Amino acid sequence: GNSVTQMEGPVTLSEEAFLTINCTYTATGYPSLFWYVQYPGEGLQLLLKATKADDKGSNKGFEATYRKETTSFHLEKGSVQVSDSAVYFCALTRGAAGNKLTFGGGTRVLVKP
């Protein structure tokens, strides 16, 4: 079956530091890949997505590239802010409407001023 593995947190870093959160997946065929972010006390928000190999998703300074050869979708941001403190979830889905999302375990990121 499908699965998503992401690095465990918490990840603590200083403002303006470089952030990488690793995510690898197992799936048959060509899944769509997502990063969701959950700010404290809030629901999940879609951060970015990629639907085919070599696609790069980007939003709010975050980027992730769909690497089929390494089955990875690592999230990166060059200069984090305190407001980026949140839990980040890597996820995948396959096929058409109604398919289930498979989530990774989530990575908590804490950015200190």
Partner 1 sequence: GAVVSQHPSWVICKSGTSVKIECRSLDFQATTMFWYRQFPKQSLMLMATSNEGSKATYEQGVEKDKFLINHASLTLSTLTVTSAHPEDSSFYICSAGQGRSYEQYFGPGTRLTVT
* Sign of the four-CA dihedral 69, 71, 52, 48: negative
> Interaction with partner 1 in 5-44: which residues (CB under 8 A)?
32, 36, 42-44
Residue from 3, 20, 26, 51 in contact with partner 1 (CB under 8 A)? 51
How many chain residues are in contact with partner 1, going by CB under 8 A?
23
Residue from 45, 79, 81, 83 in contact with partner 1 (CB under 8 A)? 45
Residue 98 CA: distances (Å) to CA of 59, 65, 94, 95? 25, 24, 9, 8
Establish whether the linkage from the previous residue to 113 is cis, with ω within 30° of 0. no
Residue from 46, 53, 82, 110 in contact with partner 1 (CB under 8 A)? 46
Contact yes or no for 2/103 (Cβ under 8 A): no
Min CB(22)–partner 1 separation in Å: 16
Residue from 14, 95, 110, 112 in contact with partner 1 (CB under 8 A)? 95
What CA–CA distance (Å, rounded) separates 96 from 30? Answer: 12
| Biggest CA pair distance of the chain | 43
Binding residues for partner 1, rule: CB under 8 A, are: 32, 36, 42-46, 49, 51, 89, 93, 95-101, 103-106, 108
